[in-house]
Chains A and B, each alone.
Chain A
Amino acid sequence: GDSVTQTEGLVTLTKGLPVMLNCTYQTTYSPFLFWYVQHLNEAPKLLLKSSTDNKRTEHQGFYATLHKSSSSFHLQKSSVQLSDSALYFCALSPNAYKVIFGKGTHLHVLP
């Protein structure tokens, strides 16, 4: 069946370092992939969205490339800031009738 996997539950790193949050998926459809970010006591908000293979999508310094060959949509940033500390969800929409969220990865940025 359709599924999305985020392998890290918690990522802790120091301000200014690069980060990559992993997201892999399984589906037989040609999907849309999303990254949502949720700051403490706030609602999730869209960060990135893509359905185009091998095309880099960027927003607010974050970027991700959908690789259908490896079923991945990893989120990256070259230099994290304290304000990036949040919960990040990868989501899969395999068709127009379904969306599946991953378990989420907590990103904790240290000064």
Chain B
Amino acid sequence: NAGVIQTPRHKVTGKGQEATLWCEPISGHSAVFWYRQTIVQGLEFLTYFRNQAPIDDSGMPKERFSAQMPNQSHSTLKIQSTQPQDSAVYLCASSFRTDQDTQYFGPGTRLLVL
């Protein structure tokens, strides 16, 4: 079992560019979560899918951020018109079924917006 896979591991973008982050959950897991981690804000919940359907996106900034899960094997987080304050480590996690199951985190994508 390869664990949760996130690509790329590092991404540098210029202000105003688009960034797309990829996550491949553990096979057989039906719940996928996205988080953003910074030193100042800590670990912030962004969004949650179960069986590919969006369940809770209350943490997503309403403008510029979007997430999709087109199939059970991957999810994407897209940030349009990136800003320096978007610089963070973006973590993806998966769990077997629900929030109350253990979450397995990927290694994260470190995004730097210049």
Residues on A lying within 8 angstroms of B by beta carbon are: 32, 34, 36, 42-46, 49, 51, 89, 93, 95-104
Distance between Cα atoms of A43 and B99 in the complex (Å): 18
Task: Give every chain B residue within 8 A of A104 (Cβ-Cβ).
Answer: 42-43
- Kindly state the separation between the CA atoms of A5 and B2 in the bound complex, as whole angstroms: 33
Query: Contact: B42 with A95, CB < 8 Å?
Result: no
Contact of B107 among A43, A93, A102 (CB under 8 A): A43
Selected from B48, B99, B105, the residue in CB contact (under 8 A) with A95 is B99
Kindly name the residue among A46, A96, A99 whose own CB sees the greatest number of chain B CB atoms within 10 A. A99
Interface range on chain B (Cβ under 8 Å from partner): 20 to 34
Is B56's CB within 8 Å of the partner chain A?
yes
B25 at the A interface (CB under 8 A):
no
Please report the number of residue pairs spanning A and B whose Cβ atoms sit closer than 8 angstroms.
55
Residues on B lying within 8 angstroms of A by beta carbon are: 4, 33, 35, 42-43, 45, 48, 55-56, 91, 93, 97-100, 102-108
A103 touches B42 (CB 8 A): yes
Find chain A residues with CB under 8 A from B100 CB. Answer: 32, 51, 93, 95-96, 99
For B43, list chain A residues within 8 Å (CB).
44, 89, 101, 103-104
Q: How long is the Cα–Cα vector from A89 to B43 in the complex, in angstroms?
A: 9
Residues of chain A within 8 A (CB-CB) of B98 are 93, 96-97
Residues of B contacting A43 in the complex (Cβ-Cβ under 8 angstroms): 4, 91, 105-108
Instruction: Count chain A CB atoms within 10 A of each CB in B35, B93, B105 and give the residue with the most.
Output: B105
Other A-B pairs beyond A45-B105, A49-B102, 20, CB < 8 Å: A32-B99, A43-B91, A43-B106, A43-B107, A44-B43, A44-B93, A44-B103, A51-B100, A89-B43, A93-B98, A93-B100, A95-B99, A95-B100, A96-B100, A97-B48, A99-B100, A99-B103, A100-B45, A101-B45, A104-B42
